[in-house]
Structure 1
């Protein structure tokens, strides 16, 4: 009897272990879930932090999007991951936390009971503007209605189709509009300055010349959800000839702001796709500023309390007319320090693009910065073709190091490699 007890105990123990393992597997890998795809994400040569990634979905999967789940596989367990399908067929999610160089992270897309996810990223209308928000915090405002200049200033400076305010995570405003003496500066904007259209030089930047302007035309889409919020908007570059108006360039802004999970560094992308609206085409003539990505910063950021640094180590003293992959601007006010990092994508025209940065001794010491694609050479746009400029922006409180800026640019320019293995039958 004693020997039987001794012999049976290990058997019982093993049996209990097997039962517990089966229960764990049932909880971790629901029997109701059907795996549709296994997704591997391999990080690049530098560390990435809270990086948004995306991959295209098959039509057969999109038809089931109301019953999809995404899990990261960690130590044999499935951890639910918030995701969002937007842009027609693209699946977006965040590589949360820090991902070391070369690390492979594995995900599974399954069909099963959806895991509820809070739509933390929202796009809300507000008095003629679209405000992108994370939780209850403002990120940026796109002004689609006409914004009037200050009282007493010529109405020629009225404009739509620009971003202001741009908020730092602590609520500080990074941008300004209608600066004295530069009433045409409007936060973040991108009109072309020196162009040749139908045999006539046309300036869409300096509104006081009354040669042209940029106008909001309409929305293609608006997006919100657990991973990102944003919009696609149509804008027109309008040329003036006397009382006659002619649309010279159609452009589409595609803006996406990504969930930072409450961190002090926020990320958003702006992609601008241009096409000629007239069969004559248009030439963007070589000039020291215009187009690309224009930024007028907070009026309180001046020489004594701000810093400029480019990817090539240039500062405000010597950054102007140099080329850069990214440019970082920080400023300090009584509310604290905040900053912005603007990154140019390698696919952009005349990359690495030249920058226009006001020197320290001009314009009351305030800052205007512009990634200027035509600063060094002209750019001919032909009718029937499309042209694209892409930029990524980080907005942060306090400051980030040059190494962190390099990490962010590397992740943007050379994103992680994504491999999708679809299940049989898809």
Structure 2
């Protein structure tokens, strides 16, 4: 009896410990990788993160678990695998500068996760949604101009509406006098193609246009939704049409983790469709990222601020890492932040911003890569432009904007340590 008492307490403690470990990490589960994510020089807030996966892991994507290790305990984290072999998740909450967070990728019975981020077809458009909230609409079917307006303004392959988190629409399409402006779009204005000047932006010149060609993929899941779409930049010569540029849009909208901001990326990859190549000539606007905001935002109720401290009075023809536009109406205050990636051509790129006394005080903004210098695109090569957009209600301080830009331009460092045998 004495010996039984001596051994019973340690045995019970070991049994309890084993039970605890089993609950935290099932015996059937297999650890695949440790992943460390270290924040940069500024605080991160709800930042999208990704890591490249091994082929061996991709084969078992239907039976994976993903955890964050917090104070020795595992907390399940929603994740999503892309067809390109990337694992995506949100490093949620606030992460202090230089702080490292640790995750584990495990093979085992999947932890159920709701498909919060969705891409839904709707009458010739693809609508990206978070839960029951609209984020943006990509129009792949040709949109007709208003009744009585020349049909030359028919256009496809653009984003409108873009919604703020409170439901306000903050883009505009076919505004009077600028029927060719369509929400968010990016045709090139002044180009040289086969020895002829060609304008893909000003449709009334009947020199060229941009058309949706087809989808490569559509994505939805717990972390992100989006699409990859092909566009043709078409040059006109009489009744003849020639594709000058092949373009691929890769748009990803990320789970906001309950915040009042919405983050999405648009990456544009271009290649010459003709052996002649094409030169994007120096001009004051065109290409890059074009934006026409809601007609409700005018000089009296809107503000513009760039990374260099420029406002609507002096932002035009200056360079910027980011530009923020806010507007207040009776529906409340909302805004859009557009960030230019450091890898982009002629970064930091020049911006085109209409002055306050222009066009009824309404706003047109354009990151214009060829505003200061031409850009020659050669056949057989690819060229990429990347921008991140944050849509918000109320406003973002300059410190918050700089932190968001830092997380985009200099993302947290991701280190993956794979288990032996993978």
TM-score computed with the length of structure 2 as normaliser = 0.98
1:82-231 residue pairs with structure 2 within 5 A? 82-231=78-227
Q: Does residue 1:312 correspond to 2:308, yes or no?
A: yes
- The alpha-carbon deviation at position 26 of structure 1 amounts to 1.4
1:41 aligned residue: 37
Residue-pair matches, total = 422
1:380 aligned residue: 376
- The alpha-carbon deviation at position 42 of structure 1 amounts to 0.8
1:250 aligned residue: 246
CA distance in 2, matches of 1:341, 1:100: 22
- The alpha-carbon deviation at position 15 of structure 1 amounts to 4.9
User: Alignment partner of 1:184: what SS?
Assistant: coil
User: Alignment partner of 2:300: what SS?
Assistant: helix
1:78 aligned residue: 74
Cα deviations across residues 31-66 of structure 1 (Å, max 9, x unaligned)? 111001111111111111111111111111111111
1:339-378 residue pairs with structure 2 within 5 A? 339-378=335-374
Which of the residues 390, 401, 407 maps onto 1:405?
A: 401
Which of the residues 272, 275, 289 maps onto 1:279?
A: 275
Cα deviations across residues 57-104 of structure 1 (Å, max 9, x unaligned)? 111111111111111111111111111111321111110111111111
Cα deviations across residues 380-412 of structure 1 (Å, max 9, x unaligned)? 000010000000000001101011110000000
Cα deviations across residues 155-193 of structure 1 (Å, max 9, x unaligned)? 000100000000001000010000000000000000000
Cα deviations across residues 340-394 of structure 1 (Å, max 9, x unaligned)? 0000000000000000000011110000000000000000000010000000000
- The alpha-carbon deviation at position 13 of structure 1 amounts to 5.4
Give 5+ residue unaligned stretches, structure 2: none
User: Alignment partner of 1:411: what SS?
Assistant: helix
2:19 aligned residue: 23
Aligned-CA RMSD value:
1.4
CA distance in 2, matches of 1:86, 1:122: 14
CA distance in 2, matches of 1:261, 1:72: 16
CA distance in 2, matches of 1:309, 1:287: 23
CA distance in 1, matches of 2:301, 2:5: 78
Which of the residues 323, 327, 332 maps onto 2:328?
A: 332
CA distance in 2, matches of 1:110, 1:183: 53
CA distance in 2, matches of 1:372, 1:291: 6
TM-score computed with the length of structure 1 as normaliser = 0.97
User: Alignment partner of 2:389: what SS?
Assistant: strand
2:258 aligned residue: 262
Which has the higher mean CA deviation after the structures are superposed, 139-148 or 51-60?
Answer: 51-60
- The alpha-carbon deviation at position 262 of structure 1 amounts to 2.8
Cα deviations across residues 116-168 of structure 1 (Å, max 9, x unaligned)? 11010000000000000000110000000000000011100010000000000
User: Alignment partner of 1:272: what SS?
Assistant: strand
